[in-house]
């Protein structure tokens, strides 16, 4: 999905990367917008298709591009995750539960310095449960910006990725 009229300033050569937008409107101010995307990709940044071997590592990539005047006033932590919902038998799980703590996070982000964010992590082989018959998951991506007080997220977003089979 491409959002109509949006041209990325951060990744101008990747025209189809954008899949979602989250907007926060504050009284008497310009809206804060976070255009964002999450993908499962190979080492070259190409989606591997819908069938992935559990014996192979895969790369997860999150991108966020910020628009609006007030981002320079905000700092906090970006938290990213992939959520796997099983279709059929097997457990649901969040990828962050199976990886070392914090590898999908961007801590102490500062809106004064950075408005183009990219987080990548190579998920090790064997991280996602699967077997010879395959296990089908509906995969969704989430992110949240926790403000510096960390009491609650200031922005949250969800993107449904396609079904993936891990075997």
The Cα 50–Cα 48 span in angstroms is 7
pLDDT at 67 exceeding the cut of 70: yes
Domain assignment present for 120: yes
pLDDT tens readout for residues 136-146: 999 999 999 88
Parallel/antiparallel/unpaired status of strands 93-94 and 58-67: unpaired
Domain assignment present for 99: yes
**Residue 24 maps to which CATH number?**
2.70.50
* pLDDT band of 19, cuts 50, 70, 90: low
Domain assignment present for 83: yes
DSSP string, 83-130: EEEEESSS--EEGGGTS-TTTTEEEEEETTT-SEEEEEEEEPTT-S--
Domain assignment present for 9: no
Domain assignment present for 147: yes
Domain assignment present for 4: no
pLDDT tens readout for residues 72-117: 778 889 999 999 999 977 789 999 999 999 999 999 888 888 889 9
Mean pLDDT computed over every residue of the chain: 83
Domain that holds residue 33: 20-166
- Which pTM does this prediction carry? 0.82
Domain assignment present for 87: yes
Domain assignment present for 149: yes
């Amino acid at each position: 999905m491409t959002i109509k009229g949006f041209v990325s300033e951060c990744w101008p050569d990747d025209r189809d990367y954008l899949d979602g937008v989250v907007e926060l409107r504050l009284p008497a101010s310009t809206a804060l917008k976070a255009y964002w995307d999450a993908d499962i990709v190979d080492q070259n940044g190409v989606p591997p298709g819908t069938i992935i071997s559990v014996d192979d590592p895969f790369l997860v990539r999150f991108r966020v591009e910020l628009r609006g005047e007030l981002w320079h006033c905000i700092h906090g932590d970006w938290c990213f995750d992939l959520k796997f919902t099983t279709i059929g038998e097997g457990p649901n799980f969040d990828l962050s539960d199976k990886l070392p703590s914090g590898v999908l996070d961007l801590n102490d982000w500062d809106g004064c310095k950075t408005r183009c964010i990219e987080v990548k992590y190579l998920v090790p082989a064997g991280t996602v449960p699967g077997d010879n018959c395959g296990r089908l998951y509906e995969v969704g991506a989430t992110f949240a910006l926790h403000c510096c007080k960390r009491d609650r997220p200031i922005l949250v977003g969800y993107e449904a990725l396609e079904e993936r089979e891990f075997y």
